C-alpha cells in the first residue's frame, strides 16, 4: 500500500506541477544568507514560488527545527518541496538527504534529526542520500561551509522545477538519524507524550498528543485529568486539571487543559505563564502524561 503510494507520487512528480519551495533555517534574516538561497533557487527556474517557514530557529536547535517543520508542513499542499537548514554538523561527515513523506512532500535537509517529528506523526515513504560532490551549484566546490545555499537550495529548486527526479538524487538510505522523542501513546488509562514546544507568548505547554486520544479515553470538555510532567524521570509537576474549551472557564491564574490549533493537547494558566511558573522546558528528556481521575 505504502509502496503503491510511493510509486504513484514518484511517478507523478507532483512537485514539478506544484513548483513551490519553502525554506527553513536558523540563519535569521539580518544578513544576505536567506536571500542567497532564494537567489540560487530563482536562478534554477524563475517559475518557482519561493516561500519561507521561518528562519528564526534558535541556532543549531534541531528539536525546534523538527517541531516547527511538522507544525507547518501539513498545511502545504502535497508536492511542496521543503529546504530545511539547521546544520550544526556542516563540514562533518553527516549525510545530506531528500525525504518523501507519506503525504507527498519532499524535504531536503542534513540527516541530523530534523525529520524526527515528521517521521513520527506523518510518516516517511523513502529517503535518498544526496551526493554533494555532484549535486551542487556549479562553481561552489571550494566552499565547505554553506551547504544550505550550494546544495540544499539548489537541489530543492531542481526537484521543484522537474530538472532532476527524486530517484536521480542518489541511493535509498534505509535509516535516518532521529532525536529521542516520547512517542504519543495510550498506556492503559494514561496518555503519554512529549512537550513539543512552549507557546512563547503565553508559556503554554504544547504536547505531541492528538486530541483524538481523549475520545479513546472517554474524556470530554468539563472532565478532569491528572497531569504529570517529568524531566529525565524526576516529577516536576503533578495536579488534576479540567479540559476546557475556553481559558475563561477557570479562574485567573488557574491551570487548564485545552486543544490547541494543531488539535493536540496543551496545558496553560489562564492569564499566566505555565512553563515559567513551574520551570518546565521542552525537548529531549521531558515527558508529559495525562490519566483519568479515579
Q: Is 93 in the site for a copy of itself (CB under 8 A)?
A: no
The site for a copy of itself, by CB under 8 A, has a size of 59
CA–CA distance, 199 with 274 (Å, rounded to integer): 10
Nearer to a copy of itself, 76 or 278 (CB): 76
Residue 278 interacting with a copy of itself (CB under 8 A):
no
Instruction: Considering the complex, state which of residue 164 and residue 259 has its C-beta at the smaller distance from a copy of itself.
Output: 259
Grid coordinates of 174: 534505509
* Among 8, 32, 165, 216, contact with a copy of itself (rule: CB under 8 A): 32
Q: What phi, psi does 147 have (nearest 5°)?
A: -65, -30
Report helix, strand or coil for 245.
coil
Query: Distances from the Cα of 162 to the Cαs of 19, 39, 120, 167, in angstroms?
Result: 8, 18, 28, 12
Give the separation between CA 57 and CA 109, rounded to whole angstroms. Answer: 14
Which stretches of the chain are DSSP H helices?
2-12, 14-18, 33-44, 62-72, 116-121, 147, 154-160, 212-217, 274-277
Shortest distance, CB of residue 34 to a copy of itself, whole angstroms? 8
**Using the rule CB under 8 A, is 260 a contact of a copy of itself?**
yes
115 binds a copy of itself (CB under 8 A): no
Task: Assess 149 for contact with a copy of itself (CB under 8 A).
Answer: yes
User: Residues of 164-193 as b/e, b for ≥16 C-beta within 10 angstroms?
Assistant: eebeebbeebeebbebebbebeeeebebbb
Nearer Cβ to a copy of itself (46/134): 46
Nearest approach, Cβ of residue 26 and a copy of itself (Å): 9
Cell numbers placing 129: 542520500
Residues 37-76 that bind a copy of itself (CB under 8 A): 37-40, 42-43, 46, 49-56, 59, 68-69, 71-73, 75-76
Burial code of 5-42, b = ≥16 C-beta within 10 A, e = fewer?
ebeebbeeebbeebbbbbbbbbbeeeeebbebbbebbb
Using rule CB under 8 A, residue 207 touches a copy of itself: no
CB of 152 to a copy of itself, least distance (A): 13
Which part of the chain contacts a copy of itself (CB under 8 A), choosing from 31-39, 96-104, 109-117, 185-193?
31-39
Chain residues binding a copy of itself by CB under 8 A are 18-20, 22, 29-40, 42-43, 46, 49-56, 59, 68-69, 71-73, 75-77, 80, 91-92, 142-146, 149-150, 197, 200-201, 211, 245-247, 258-263
Amino acid at each position: 500500500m505504502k509502496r503503491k503510494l510511493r510509486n504513484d507520487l514518484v511517478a507523478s512528480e507532483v512537485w514539478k506541477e506544484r513548483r513551490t519551495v519553502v525554506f527553513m533555517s536558523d540563519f535569521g534574516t539580518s544578513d544576505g544568507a536567506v536571500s542567497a538561497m532564494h537567489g540560487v533557487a530563482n536562478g534554477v527556474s524563475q517559475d518557482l514560488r519561493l516561500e519561507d517557514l521561518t528562519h528564526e530557529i534558535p541556532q543549531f536547535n534541531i528539536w525546534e527545527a523538527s517541531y516547527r517543520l511538522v507544525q507547518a508542513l501539513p498545511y502545504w499542499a502535497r508536492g511542496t518541496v521543503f529546504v530545511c537548514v539547521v546544520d550544526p554538523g556542516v563540514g562533518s561527515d553527516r549525510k545530506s538527504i531528500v525525504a518523501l513523506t507519506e503525504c507527498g512532500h519532499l524535504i531536503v535537509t542534513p540527516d541530523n534529526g530534523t525529520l524526527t517529528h515528521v517521521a513520527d506523526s506523518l510518516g516517511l515513504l523513502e529517503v535518498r542520500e544526496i551526493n554533494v560532490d555532484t549535486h551542487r551549484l556549479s562553481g561552489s566546490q571550494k566552499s565547505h561551509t554553506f551547504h544550505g545555499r550550494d546544495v540544499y537550495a539548489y537541489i530543492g529548486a531542481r526537484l521543484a522545477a522537474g530538472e532532476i527526479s527524486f530517484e536521480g538524487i542518489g541511493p535509498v538510505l534505509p535509516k535516518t538519524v532521529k532525536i529521542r522523542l516520547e512517542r504519543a501513546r495510550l498506556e492503559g488509562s494514561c496518555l503519554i507524550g512529549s512537550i513539543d514546544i512552549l507557546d512563547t507568548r503565553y508559556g503554554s505547554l504544547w504536547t505531541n498528543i492528538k486530541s483524538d486520544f481523549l475520545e479513546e479515553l472517554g474524556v470530554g470538555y468539563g472532565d478532569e485529568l491528572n497531569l504529570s510532567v517529568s524531566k529525565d524521570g524526576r516529577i516536576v509537576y503533578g495536579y488534576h486539571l479540567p479540559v476546557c474549551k475556553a481559558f475563561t472557564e477557570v479562574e485567573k491564574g488557574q491551570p487548564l487543559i485545552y486543544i490547541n490549533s494543531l488539535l493536540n493537547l496543551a496545558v496553560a494558566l489562564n492569564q499566566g505563564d505555565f512553563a515559567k511558573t513551574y520551570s518546565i522546558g521542552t525537548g529531549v528528556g521531558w515527558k508529559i502524561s495525562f490519566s483519568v481521575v479515579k
